Copies of this chain bind each other. A is one copy, B any other.
């Protein structure tokens, strides 16, 4: 096909994911080119260091350290921004969009922090921004929300969005080993970063939750407007007790919408999920997302969340959609128009005050092992109108102390906040309590 259009793809960043993308495009090249009716060309590549060895051989004249030059090169059709970080990545993305390019990105932190600016730039200058790889790479969840479930409004979305946390919790359950030991092992195996905070403290999950909330509801929710808790305080006692209560602990993002109040809430926290739920059985590095649509009911999606290949699969699917746009002029219902659409339809929701979020709670308190302690605890909770559903008292890990594990009936964050403040003033409570939330979702 001598007249076949050539699509020039450039990469800003050619690390693990970028190399994976080009490796898989090359491996399936004839099939992809036939399907899309084009020929691919690797146009230019920007990297931090020219000297590093890479799986993909790049001719010297096509490789540079100047990412902005690659992003704005007039000949490039598609810019894959796979460099990570939010500063240079933001500049590169905005520059490419202002030049009317299509940008494909896997950068969830960038989208969460600068999404509004990015989509505004795309709208203003006729660029396009694709980001399927930014959330749960192995799961085509963004396409599902935007196209497959277009008939639906979403009361509830919840999911396991961070493979590192799920891997750590899964191994803690399977092996009975403490958190710190599994984390150290995960670092050694490359499943956790040297600075694990982004993963285990919930921030990575929060970035992805922000993107899902934007797609489903057309609102950018900042991480500081969410509840964000991590997994680093979990102990074997918590895992054992929750197991006995019929639950598994998973770090979940939970996005709810109340259509009567027209409010949404976004939160990230370790959650007690009933064992019968599908996501309670999604283990290891896998991600899973449950979406409740008002028409379709609950649909669930499971797949690898990260890693070279899963992310590459998502980037290539975006490249394919980008090519359809380039060759047919199709303006898809991409996320860039989401806010505008919600605004035009008059459906933009407000953020629910965090204190109004209602759930059941799990509380582990380390207390002095002496008479009257449980009475004091129970009295504080009663004063805040929080009703206790179950209590287990065991020996604590430190001597002369007891561990009290409570579950509550439904209450709200405000009441729980006051309760924790009062606990802090009780002499018998020896440590900051561990607070988990129970996910009895009615889906």
Q: Which residues of B contact A149 (CB under 8 A)?
A: 140, 313, 317
Given A147-B317, A148-B140, A31 and B345 contact (CB-CB distance below 8 Å):
yes
Establish whether residues B301 and A345, one from each chain, have CB atoms under 8 Å apart when the complex forms: no
Taking the closest CB of chain B, its distance from the CB of A441, in whole angstroms, is 15
Q: Which residues of B contact A363 (CB under 8 A)?
A: none
Q: Which of B296, B304, B346 contacts A313 (CB 8 A)?
A: B296
A309 an interface residue at 8 Å Cβ cutoff?
Answer: yes
Q: Which residues of B contact A304 (CB under 8 A)?
A: 296-299
A382 an interface residue at 8 Å Cβ cutoff?
Answer: no
A321 an interface residue at 8 Å Cβ cutoff?
Answer: yes
Q: How many copies of this chain?
A: 2
A71 an interface residue at 8 Å Cβ cutoff?
Answer: no
Taking beta carbons and an 8 Å cutoff, which residues of A are in contact with B?
24-25, 28, 30-32, 34-36, 132, 137-140, 143-144, 147-153, 278, 281-282, 293, 295-304, 309-310, 312-314, 316-317, 320-321, 324, 328-333, 341, 344-347
5 of the cross-chain contacts (CB-CB < 8 Å) are A143-B147, A147-B317, A281-B281, A300-B302, A329-B330
Given A138-B296, A297-B138, A330-B330, A153 and B28 contact (CB-CB distance below 8 Å):
yes
Which are the 4 A-B pairs with shortest beta-carbon distances? Answer: A140-B148, A330-B330, A151-B316, A299-B303
Q: Which residues of B contact A293 (CB under 8 A)?
A: 313
Q: Which residues of B contact A329 (CB under 8 A)?
A: 328-330
Q: Which residues of B contact A25 (CB under 8 A)?
A: 151
Establish whether residues A147 and B321, one from each chain, have CB atoms under 8 Å apart when the complex forms: yes
Establish whether residues B152 and A148, one from each chain, have CB atoms under 8 Å apart when the complex forms: no
Q: Which of B297, B300, B333 contacts A301 (CB 8 A)?
A: B300
Which residue among A34, A299, A300, A328 has the maximum number of chain B CB atoms within 10 Å of its CB?
Answer: A299
Q: Which of B143, B295, B303, B316 contacts A316 (CB 8 A)?
A: B295
Given A295-B312, A302-B278, A320 and B32 contact (CB-CB distance below 8 Å):
no
Taking the closest CB of chain B, its distance from the CB of A48, in whole angstroms, is 26
Given A24-B295, A329-B328, A140 and B144 contact (CB-CB distance below 8 Å):
yes
Q: Which residues of B contact A144 (CB under 8 A)?
A: 140, 143-144, 148
| Alpha-carbon distance between A293 and B310 when the two chains are bound, in angstroms | 10
Establish whether residues A310 and B330, one from each chain, have CB atoms under 8 Å apart when the complex forms: no
Given A34-B344, A281-B278, A324-B332, A299 and B148 contact (CB-CB distance below 8 Å):
no
Q: Which residues of B contact A34 (CB under 8 A)?
A: 341, 344-345
Establish whether residues B298 and A303, one from each chain, have CB atoms under 8 Å apart when the complex forms: yes
Establish whether residues A330 and B324, one from each chain, have CB atoms under 8 Å apart when the complex forms: yes
Closest Cβ neighbor of A275 among chain B residues: B281
Q: Which residues of B contact A309 (CB under 8 A)?
A: 295-297
Establish whether residues B140 and A35, one from each chain, have CB atoms under 8 Å apart when the complex forms: no
Q: Which of B28, B32, B35, B143 contacts A148 (CB 8 A)?
A: B143
Given A144-B144, A151-B320, A299-B303, 8 other A-B residues pairs in contact with their CB atoms under 8 A: A31-B153, A138-B299, A140-B144, A140-B299, A147-B320, A150-B317, A296-B310, A301-B302
